[in-house]
A = this chain, B = another copy of it.
Amino acid sequence: MILELQRATHATLQSLTAELVDLDLTPSDLNALANLADGTPRTVSRLGADVGTRPATLTGILDRLERRGLITRAMHPGDRRSVRIELTEAGAETAAQVRAAMDELERRALAGLPPETLAAALAVLAALTEADR
């Protein structure tokens, strides 16, 4: 299962990056934006947990996204050590494009499969993600 998992991840990520080549974003950028696409602000460590990278790695990615005006780093009310990552208006637009491309890829790839099969796959992915927490 794990080998197939890696294969599917590579394939979908490459397909997405190719499709969104005009946006000039790295796979990590896509991942971060897609996670932020729901509009909920997040701290760096929370976003790191969501995208699966460490804060130290995220710093560089966020630097790039901030420089391009897609996110802002704001003070976190209540804990001045924390940083609140939020999409700008332009970032929200870009993130929506990323999500749309993801949804479209998913729709195209999984069109023939019944809902129970999709639900089962989500359960397996969740189990693998939680395995070592």
Contacts and interface: CB of A to CB of B under 8 A. Distances in A.
A36 to B, nearest CB: 11
Contact of A132 (B1, B7, B11, B129): B11
How many copies the complex holds: the figure is: 2
A42 B128 CA distance: 29
B12 A52 contact: no
A34 interface: yes
Contacts of A51: 6-7, 10
Given A2-B102, A9-B9, A51-B6, A15 B132 contact: yes
Contact of A7 (B1, B6, B129): B129
Residue with the highest number of chain B CB atoms closer than 10 Å, among A50, A105, A124: A124
Contact of A3 (B34, B127, B132): B34
A90 interface: no
Given A3-B34, A11-B130, A116-B120, 18 more contacts: A2-B34, A2-B102, A3-B102, A4-B125, A4-B126, A6-B13, A6-B31, A7-B125, A8-B125, A10-B53, A12-B129, A106-B128, A108-B131, A109-B127, A109-B131, A112-B127, A118-B124, A121-B125
